[in-house]
Amino acid sequence: MGAAITVDALVMTYGSLRAVDGVSFDVRPGEFFGLLGPNGAGKTTTLETVEGLRKPDAGSVAIDGYDPWKRQPELQRRIGVQLQSSAFFERLTAREQLVTFASLYGVASGRADELLEQVGLTDKANSPVEKLSGGQAQRLSIACALVHDPEVLFLDEPTAALDPQARRNLWDFLEGLNDSGRTVVLTTHSMEEAEVLCDRVAIIDRGRLLKLDTPQALIRGLDVATRISVVPGLVRPHEARAWPGVADVVESDVALVIETRDPGPVLAALAERDALEGLAVTKGTLEDVFLSLTGREYRA
């Protein structure tokens, strides 16, 4: 189970704009793969070309050797798609929606109830789709993509437009989707989402692929300081400044923040003085990675 995806030197143009400008990457079977970038970076265009909704202007796309642009039932039965807009049959209930999609893929209707339970919509089974909240509609849309248990699942910004709580709930569900060996490809403009969900992340900006690696490796590769913060008043700032490897110390009403490239000795010094109350250690985030790659602040 799980299929491999190969994207090679993909180019997509809209008039004079090169929306995708020579993007190449491979997705391994069973991987949770993220396309990360700000709005308009070319993520959705890339994803839709991989799904088979667009014909590449140059370059090629293959899913397990199939060309997705040629509509082939054998391939279509192996991929599941959740599009950016919730594409539902109007005035059907949540359950009818799933049963209809199941029939399109030749799957028996019992699968609908199973999926409703999985996405937590059993009590909404008989609600028309028009009455679902944003989060519920998004979960139903993903359930529709899973109805035939596909080997590859494409998710286009599944948590966009959701409130933080609904977003976290959806992450809990999405996290397990590649457990059974399914390949998942997701686009997102949320750095946090990519860090939480993805095995590997491709950072895309202005139609180009800037960097591709695991979130951890991307951050580790950064030449940025680690920030260690504790409750203020435990250590005097000028004292901490004298410790080996400390780059900067800032004290505010809420925290004492020590920046260093070598956190080990600093943590030892704090422990020695029994000054670990409220300890938090953060090393760069994907936002920092984006900043260092583009020289611009990340704005979704």
**Positions in the binding site for other proteins (CB under 8 A):** 51-53, 71, 73, 76-77, 79, 81, 83-92, 96, 99-114, 128, 149
Q: Residue 67's Cα: distance from chain center in Å?
A: 25
Residue 173 Cβ, how far from other proteins at the closest point, in Å? 20
Closest distance to other proteins from the beta carbon of 71 (Å): 7
Q: Nearer to other proteins by C-beta: 74 or 253?
A: 74
Q: How far is the CB of 109 from other proteins (least distance, A)?
A: 4
In terms of CB distance, is 114 or 175 closer to other proteins?
114
Least Å distance, CB 292 to other proteins, is 36
Q: Which of 222, 224, 225, 215 is nearest to 195 (CA)?
A: 215
Nearer to other proteins, 18 or 77 (CB): 77
Alpha helices in the chain (DSSP H): 43-51, 73-76, 94-104, 110-118, 134-146, 164-175, 191-197, 215-220, 237-241, 263-272, 286-294
Distance (Å, rounded) from C-alpha 186 to C-alpha 31? 11
We find the least distance from the C-beta atom of residue 168 to other proteins, in angstroms, to be 26
Q: How far from chain centre, in Å, is Cα 106?
A: 30
Instruction: Quote the CA–CA distance of 108 and 100 in Å, as a whole number.
Output: 10
CA 14 to each of CA 25, 43, 61, 300: distance values in angstroms, whole numbers, following the listed order:
22, 14, 19, 22
CB of 75 to other proteins, least distance (A): 9
Q: Are 19 and 207 in contact (CB under 8 A)?
A: yes
How distant, in Å, are the alpha carbons of 66, 155, 157, 189, 191 from that of 300? 33, 18, 12, 6, 9
* Contact status, residue 166 vs residue 175, Cβ threshold 8 Å: no
- Of 69 and 171, which has the nearer Cβ to other proteins? 69
Residues 6+ away with beta carbon under 8 Å from 295 = none
SS3 state of residue 61: strand
Task: Tell me whether residue 129 or residue 270 sits nearer to other proteins (CB atom).
Answer: 129
CB of 104 to other proteins, least distance (A): 5
Of 147 and 289, nearer to other proteins (C-beta) is: 147
User: Is the torsion defined by CA of 131, 53, 145, 167 positive or negative?
Assistant: negative
Q: Helices 110-118 and 134-146 meet at what angle, rounded to 10? A: 130
In the complex, the smallest distance separating the C-beta of residue 135 from other proteins, rounded to whole angstroms, is 18
